[in-house]
């Protein structure tokens, strides 16, 4: 069998797992989803999903991974349930699809690092022109994919763990400083209110769907990332505290990103919060504008630092996305890690081309008709987000939990979670898990999944 990687320490695992979770999903995705979903009400629903439902999914994935010591597909075989390994295959497919569009956005962020360095703050006025320049953005995307493939080809390495331990705190410090700067700008409070004071009249099904998809995406759940990472951890580790730490870090950084962006939107829009791009362009338009306000070489330095740290956060996430399909072919097809990493990343890059073209370059992919009721169109990137994030991840998560509770059996799940956790038997968390895992969690997720499919694809 090909050599499997291992984390050098518990902290290494936490850093890598938190690195997977923290990425564009928090800093690019969360503010734009919150902006589109009515602000604070979206945040509330999102928090509910993260803690009440996604946290048990994360524990389940970690337990399956550690018990089996295998990749997302092989784990099911190793536990003696080969028939159920389609869940892992769905995960591998989700990973490939997510990485395909994720890399496009990472490519934008990478390109922005150079634009900021060059003092090109005017880029805010023509973001569309920027994404339409596909040779440039495609090239940056290619470089980004190569970095990802290179790291994954080296194995779950100490290098990325070490870098994560230094650069992630730096990113947090940088965002906290930007929050302080933003809070003193005129009309900042309008943004803060929108982000923190829920308007319950804005609650509707689409808010619930998007918040759920966002929670899974941001926490890297539902496709076997944590099965794969769990397979590299130690029997002595406490899964519950690890999962709690990862969840808190991830949610914390999303909230920090919101606190950074919304006052800026308040400022840029003169307090109306309208007229500011709320879609995927959000951070690519609002932030450079602010860096331009700071102006001169200070603005360039801040802008460059911000986007390079963002790229780093994205890189620890793309690594984890690529790791899932790579671990699968390494374990199951006995391919060398190096070959698997380059092959998979090549495939993913090609699959990402429509997402790249769908931001202005190709009219067909920019207004991709996907729905059965053919009245609405969306760009291809958003289409993949609907399919992979909002549908496959919750579906994968509910299937995994269902599998763990009823096929693998909840006593086994319980026993695996207990290892490394003294006092688990009488803990509150055990009672909670016993309550949600058998039926409530898989059923809730499944019902919502079914509704998403009906609404999104059949226009109900």
Radius of gyration of the chain (CA): 21
Per CB under 6 A, the segment of 119-127, 215-223, 237-245, 353-361 that binds ligand TRP is 215-223
Of the candidates 220, 249, 345, 359, which one interacts with ligand TRP according to CB under 6 A?
A: 220
CB of 345 to ligand TRP, least distance (A): 15
Q: Does 217 bind ligand TRP (CB under 6 A)?
A: yes
User: What's the rounded Cα separation, in Å, for the pair 72 and 293?
Assistant: 47
The residues that bridge with 368 in the sheet, in sequence order, are 378
Site for ligand TRP in 6-45 (CB under 6 A): 20-21, 23-26
User: What's the rounded Cα separation, in Å, for the pair 250 and 15?
Assistant: 11
Q: Does 160 bind ligand TRP (CB under 6 A)?
A: no
Q: Does 300 bind ligand TRP (CB under 6 A)?
A: no
The residues that bridge with 378 in the sheet, in sequence order, are 368
Contact letters for ligand TRP, residues 417-456 (x by CB under 6 A)? ----------------------------------------
Tokens matching residue 446:
């499944």
- Of 311 and 393, which has the nearer Cβ to ligand TRP? 393
Q: Helix 86-117 and helix 393-402: axis angle, to 10°? A: 140
- Of 239 and 322, which has the nearer Cβ to ligand TRP? 322
Distances (CA, A) of 249 to 22, 46, 142, 168, 216: 8, 15, 29, 11, 14
CB of 396 to ligand TRP, least distance (A): 9
CB of 403 to ligand TRP, least distance (A): 18
CB of 452 to ligand TRP, least distance (A): 16
User: What's the rounded Cα separation, in Å, for the pair 323 and 326?
Assistant: 5
CB of 34 to ligand TRP, least distance (A): 14
Per CB under 6 A, the segment of 128-136, 214-222, 418-426, 439-447 that binds ligand TRP is 214-222
Per CB under 6 A, the segment of 217-225, 275-283, 325-333, 449-457 that binds ligand TRP is 217-225
Site for ligand TRP in 307-326 (CB under 6 A): 317, 320-321
CB of 372 to ligand TRP, least distance (A): 26
Q: Does 218 bind ligand TRP (CB under 6 A)?
A: yes
Q: Is the Cβ–Cβ distance between 407 and 84 less than 8 Å?
A: yes
Residue closest to 226 by CA, chosen among 67, 63, 407: 63
CB of 20 to ligand TRP, least distance (A): 5
Q: Does 225 bind ligand TRP (CB under 6 A)?
A: yes
**Residue matched to tokens 């009440």:** 52
Per CB under 6 A, the segment of 213-221, 364-372, 375-383, 439-447 that binds ligand TRP is 213-221
- Of 63 and 221, which has the nearer Cβ to ligand TRP? 221
User: What's the rounded Cα separation, in Å, for the pair 50 and 38?
Assistant: 18
Pick left, alpha or beta for residue 395 (phi over 0 → left; psi -120 to 50 → alpha; otherwise beta).
Answer: alpha
Site for ligand TRP in 351-370 (CB under 6 A): none
When CB distances to ligand TRP are compared, the closest residue is 25
Contact letters for ligand TRP, residues 83-102 (x by CB under 6 A)? ---------------x----
- Of 190 and 257, which has the nearer Cβ to ligand TRP? 257
Site for ligand TRP in 380-399 (CB under 6 A): 393
How many residues touch ligand TRP under the rule CB under 6 A: the total is: 16
Q: Which residues bind ligand TRP (CB under 6 A)?
A: 20-21, 23-26, 98, 217-218, 220, 223, 225, 317, 320-321, 393
């Amino acid at each position: 069998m090909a050599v499997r990687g291992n984390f050098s320490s518990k902290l290494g695992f936490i850093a890598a797992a938190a690195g997977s979770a923290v990425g564009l999903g928090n800093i690019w995705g969360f503010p734009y989803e919150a902006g589109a979903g009515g602000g604070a009400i979206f945040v509330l629903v999102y928090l509910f999903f993260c803690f009440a439902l996604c946290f048990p999914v994360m524990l389940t994935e970690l337990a399956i991974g550690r018990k089996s010591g295998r990749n997302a597909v092989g784990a099911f075989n190793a536990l003696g349930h080969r028939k159920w390994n389609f869940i892992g295959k769905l995960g591998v497919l989700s990973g490939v699809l997510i990485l395909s569009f994720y890399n496009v956005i990472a490519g934008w962020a990478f390109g922005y690092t150079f634009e900021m360095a060059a003092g090109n703050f005017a880029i805010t006025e023509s973001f569309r022109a920027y994404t339409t320049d596909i040779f440039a953005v495609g090239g940056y995307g290619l470089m980004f994919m190569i970095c990802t493939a290179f790291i994954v080809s080296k194995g779950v390495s100490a290098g990325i763990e070490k870098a994560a331990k230094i650069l992630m705190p730096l990113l947090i410090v940088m965002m906290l400083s930007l929050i302080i700067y933003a809070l003193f700008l005129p009309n900042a409070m309008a943004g803060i209110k929108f982000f923190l004071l829920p308007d319950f009249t804005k609650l509707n099904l689409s808010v619930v769907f998007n918040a759920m998809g966002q929670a899974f995406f941001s926490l890297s759940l539902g496709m076997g990332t944590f099965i794969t990472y769990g397979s590299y951890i130690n029997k002595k580790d406490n899964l519950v505290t690890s999962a709690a730490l990862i969840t808190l870090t991830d949610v914390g950084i999303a909230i920090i990103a919101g606190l950074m962006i919304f006052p800026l939107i308040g400022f840029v829009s003169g307090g109306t919060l309208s007229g500011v791009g709320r879609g995927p362009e959000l951070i690519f338009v609002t932030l450079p504008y602010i860096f331009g306000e700071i102006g001169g070489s200070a603005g360039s330095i801040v802008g460059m630092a911000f986007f390079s740290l963002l790229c780093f956060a994205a890189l620890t996430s793309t690594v984890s996305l690529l790791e899932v399909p790579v671990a699968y072919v390494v374990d199951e097809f006995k391919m060398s890690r190096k070959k698997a990493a380059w092959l998979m990343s090549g495939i993913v890059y090609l699959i990402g081309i429509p997402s790249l073209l769908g931001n202005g370059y190709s009219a067909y992919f920019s207004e991709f008709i996907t729905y059965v009721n053919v009245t609405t169109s969306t760009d291809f990137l958003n289409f993949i987000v609907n399919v992979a994030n909002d549908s496959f991840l919750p579906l994968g998560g509910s299937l995994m939990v269902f599998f763990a509770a009823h096929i693998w059996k909840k006593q086994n799940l319980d026993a695996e979670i207990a290892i490394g956790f003294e006092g688990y038997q009488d803990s509150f968390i055990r009672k909670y898990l016993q309550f949600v895992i058998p039926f409530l969690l898989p059923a809730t997720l499944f019902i919502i999944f079914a509704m998403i499919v009906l609404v999104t694809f059949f226009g109900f």
